[in-house]
Amino acid sequence: MSSSEPQFDVFENITKHISQLQPWVPKQAVICIGEYPAKILLKGSFIDKADDTLPLFIDKSDKEIAKWSQSRLKAHNILGLDPNIDTHFWFNVSPHITKNDAFMERLKNKLVDKQCDAIMVASVWDGVGSALLPALVSQFKEWKINSVALALLPSKVQPSDVHFNALSSIGMFATEDLTPVVLIDRDHLENYVGVDRKGSVINGNAVVNYLLELMLAKETLAQELSELSRSFNVRMYTVLSATGTSLNIYGSLENMLQTALLRPLLTFDLSGASLLYVLIRMPVQFKDKLPRGKIELAMANWFKERSCLKSVFISEPIYVEDAGDRIDVVMFVGGFDVTELFTSIEKKVSEIKSDVIERGLISEEEWQGIVKNLKEN
């Protein structure tokens, strides 16, 4: 070999390679809490889009989560509490979270360096979900992470202990800063029938994955919905959706919205709603035909005889390359009266509430604070 030939510098090439590496910064985090939502979300596709989203699954045991995932999740996507603690009620779990810094430190290591917004999905009827949802809302506020929570409420046929957990969780949640929580009733969820933008049928709780896909497509969702909540002092929302609707068939956006009334995800009085946040996804060919301003007027016109809204926020539409004419509309409706909903649950759990107070597991003052928060919202 001639001495005039250039020498391969190993150190220089390694340094050059390292300088070209870009840190992984996901746009959003999806935090799934509890077995029920985990088994729904693990059927979805967002887990495979690791370049855009940080999936994080939390429950009592990391081994159980790994088993449910059937190797789809990596270790850094799993966060187990402690397989040896009691998790039946929220008050069993809360001390482990509030008095043990190790769990929050592990969570912080996974999230804070990324500085991404978070969408939480939790079944608030189990001990883990009911305790963690309000705790994480409080912690995210401290870490300056915008978040939105999908709180899955129990079925009417489930026993009183799970309703006690759910009522307590939402009550504790309501004490925190104005983080938006989207209430979804399990009975409505499992009876859901709709279509996606390919025209395929969406049955039951699979709609959660479809909603989540749409929410993740809007990177500013948590920031926008949080700002709307703070501006009007509103925490609680639910969903009305008109997915996979054909503009050619329905003729107008107003006609499409009629289908949303057929499949609500919560029983509530629409006439009492005061806020509306709208996500819409459409083929790019409709960009000029349905501009944002026209959508806002159509929404206001459709709602004017159904409720007296204080504000309608239309997020910038999500445009997709699609030869079809199907449009997805998801409306986050907020500010409606929740008194009837929570009063009926309070009656259902009165016996179990009295029992846990009598046994000293929670105090009467603590319970009254929970109920007071709900009545004030």
Evaluate whether 176 touches 141 at the Cβ level (below 8 Å): yes
pLDDT at 160: 96
pLDDT at 66: 93
Please report which confidence band the pLDDT of residue 19 belongs to, taking 50, 70 and 90 as the band edges.
very low
The string of pLDDT tens digits covering residues 94-126 is 998 887 788 888 888 888 665 678 999 999 999
Please report which confidence band the pLDDT of residue 52 belongs to, taking 50, 70 and 90 as the band edges.
confident
Please report which confidence band the pLDDT of residue 20 belongs to, taking 50, 70 and 90 as the band edges.
very low
Please compute the mean of the pLDDT values over residues 184-195 and round it to a whole number: 96
- The residue among 44, 360, 10 whose CA lies nearest residue 196 is 44
Strands 236-246 and 78-80: unpaired
pLDDT at 5: 53
Indicate the range of 14-18, 80-84, 114-118, 181-185 predicted with least confidence: 14-18
pLDDT at 111: 80
- Using CA atoms in the order 366, 367, 368, 372, what is the torsion angle rounded to 10 degrees? 100
Locate tokens 């009550």: which residue?
171
Indicate the range of 99-113, 179-193, 311-325 predicted with least confidence: 99-113
71-105 core/surface letters (b: 16 or more CB in 10 A; e: else)? eebeeebbbbbeeeeebebbbebbebbeeeeebbe
pLDDT over 70, % of the chain: 90
pLDDT at 21: 46
The string of pLDDT tens digits covering residues 244-292 is 999 999 999 999 999 999 999 999 999 999 999 999 999 999 999 999 9
pLDDT at 18: 47
Cα 114 to chain centroid distance, Å, stands at 19
Please compute the mean of the pLDDT values over residues 129-154 and round it to a whole number: 93
Q: Token pair of 226, please?
A: 């949080």
